[in-house]
Amino acid sequence: MRKISLLAVVLVLMACQQENPFLIANNQLGPLSNVTKISEIEPLFSEDSVVVSNPDSPFLTYVNSANKKMEIYDKTGEKLLIIEPKGALDTVSVIKSIRVVSDRYKTENGIGYGSTFGELKKHYEITKIQSSLKSLIISLDDINAFVSFDRDVLPSDVKYDIDAEIKPVMIPDDAEINRFWLNFEADSVETD
């Protein structure tokens, strides 16, 4: 009986020590970090599909491989991530940014793609809100990320006023995050 209890404790400890493959944190997304090289992405996502996407402009395809991105799809074909390299898409380049397009990825507070503004402001300080024609972009300095909300959630008096100063109280708590980007700081990264 004692051996079974000891084995159970060991298994629980091992499970706790395993990295969460869906955790969003500062300079980290699951197994990816600010020092992960582009060449390491395919082995890290060996159970998924890694696809190099071409830029929108056919001209840019021939100009510079730095415009290419990597897309990660799961076994069912669902797109999970879009990874942008810091430099050219080569073996020594590291990750510049990641766009999270799956609700599987969450911060330690449970915030991710599809979370609501109410959940977001409960766990993170809203320091800056930027406006574009279609979106509100909110900076999350704690995790070096940006999230966006559809501008249509705003009250009618500011919805179409691109110059209006948007305050957090103007965004409804049930508005859902429609884009989530994680930026990686690579200042201290050394390449071989």
Q: What is the pTM of this model?
A: 0.79
CA pair distance 100, 140, nearest whole angstrom: 14
CA distance 161 to 165: 9
CA gap 180, 57 in Å, rounded: 24
Torsion sign, CA atoms 93, 99, 103, 108? positive
CB 73 within 8 A of CB 92: no
- Confidence at residue 86, expressed as pLDDT on a 0 to 100 scale: 86
Q: Are 118 and 173 in contact (CB under 8 A)?
A: yes
Alpha helices by DSSP H, 18-113 = 41-44, 58-63
Residue 181 has which token pair? 């980007």
What domains can be seen in the chain, in order of their start residue?
19-183 (2.60.460.10)
Q: What is the pLDDT along the chain (192 residues), one digit of tens a residue?
A: 555 554 444 444 444 445 799 999 999 999 999 999 989 999 999 999 999 876 555 555 455 555 689 999 999 999 999 999 987 766 788 999 999 999 999 999 999 999 999 999 999 988 899 999 999 999 999 899 999 999 999 999 999 998 999 999 999 999 999 999 999 975 543 444
Q: What is the pLDDT of residue 1?
A: 56
**Average per-residue pLDDT in the chain?**
84
Distance of CA 98 to the CA centre of its chain: 5
The secondary element (H helix, E strand) that includes residue 75 is none
Q: What is the pLDDT at residue 59?
A: 53
Dist. CA 86–CA 5, nearest whole Å: 48
Compute the distance between CA of residue 158 and CA of residue 110 in angstroms, rounded to an integer. Answer: 30
Can you give the pLDDT at residue 2?
Answer: 55
Q: Cβ distance 120 to 138 under 8 Å?
A: yes
Give me the phi and psi of 187, to 5 degrees please.
Answer: -55, -40
The residue type found at 22 is: F
Q: Please report the pLDDT score of residue 131 as a whole number.
A: 92
